[in-house]
Amino acid sequence: MFFMILMLSTLICISSNSWLGVWMGLEMNLLCFIPMMNNNKNLFSNESSLKYFLVQVFSSILLLFIVCMNFFYNNYLFMLLYNNMYMIILNSSLLMKLGMAPFHFWFPSVMESLDWYNNFILMTWQKINPFICLMYCMNIYLLYMISLISVIIGALGGMNFSSLRSILSYSSITHMGWMLISLMYNKMIFWFYFIIYMLISLMMTMIFNYYKFFYMNQIMSNSIYSLNKFIIMMMFFSMGGLPPFLGFFPKWFIIELLMNNDMFMYTIILVMMTMLTLFFYLRLMFFMMILNNFQFYWKNKLSNLKMNYLFSIFMILMFPLMFFIMI
């Protein structure tokens, strides 16, 4: 039920033609996700839900304040916000909801206390509403700076953790930086990037939830089948944006857009930081593939067969899409 209302709140944000309607959609989204975060088996989930609630409420107060100020200043609710200060505060409130740097202080700690399914929702679906709001009002210079800071902090921050949830949280910050760049140039590339990121995140969280992986040393377990190891490795490569895997193509399109706009130094920094993000995934694969004993287990468990079929079907569907895009 809560997830259905969560989807409804996104539809409200998409279809609303006023900022008050957008604000109502954001609040519905918040009030539906808080009960989903609470878990009686996890004592830290209550703390993370409270932290998430406070951050989202504070950013919503900023958003509502700017909307009211714009209404009284212009006497028309639907007019664009021409004042740069108003635009910066409005963008900052939405960036805080997204958890982008330098407003990312709450994002890794909240993810660390949630299960994998809620982490998937937090990394993907909860980003849709703020990104949609950013489409209507963008301070280009601020968003350029925020996207670059997010890519840098996401690349450097994930190197210091052994927790898979913390690593994925900083990886999400990096991907949001790339998405923000695509949002400023081409909306189709943004949605293409977002859908690919959502699919890869779904598969990774399903794998980690199935094997109950939360830390890097758990990946050394020999209970993973060889086929699953290979598919997990490809997921890591795709999440890191390594060619020719699927996650590389959105970055390729964004790099091409930046180069066409003569932003060479900006592009070089983004590519260098993306190479650092590959370090976490290579480190995870080192634990999984190199330090493992490579013992193969032949067990006829239906659940494992289902996982193999699911991963195989996913790769069969996604690889033809790669070559279709290249044509």
pLDDT in tens, 235-281: 888 888 888 788 888 999 999 999 998 899 999 999 999 888 888 78
Query: Is-cis flag, bond preceding 102, omega within 30?
Result: yes
**What pTM does this model have?**
0.86
Residue 297's pLDDT band, with cuts at 50, 70 and 90, is very low
pLDDT of residue 206: 86
d(CA 111, CA 126): 13
Q: Report how many domains make up the chain.
A: 1
CA 9 to chain centre: 19
C-alpha dihedral (256, 262, 265, 269), degrees to nearest 10: -20
Query: Which residues, 6+ apart, have CB-to-CB distance to 12 below 8 Å?
Result: 21, 22, 24, 25, 28
Handedness of CA 140, 241, 207, 195 (dihedral sign): positive
The CA-CA-CA angle for residues 90, 95, 97, to 5°, reads 100
Question: How high is the pLDDT of residue 179?
Answer: 95
Residue 270 and residue 308 in contact, taking contact as beta carbons nearer than 8 Å: no
- The band of 220, judged by pLDDT with boundaries at 50, 70 and 90, is low
Predicted pLDDT at 299: 41
Residues 22, 38: Cα–Cα separation, whole Å: 25
What is the separation of C-alpha 22 from the centre of its chain, rounded to a whole number of angstroms?
21
Q: Domain limits at 272?
A: 2-326
Interval 139-183: pLDDT, tens = 888 999 999 999 999 999 888 888 889 999 999 999 999 999 999
β-strand partners of 90: none
Both tokens of residue 219? 């990946």
Looking at residue 321, what is its pLDDT?
Answer: 54
Instruction: Output the pLDDT for position 48.
Output: 86
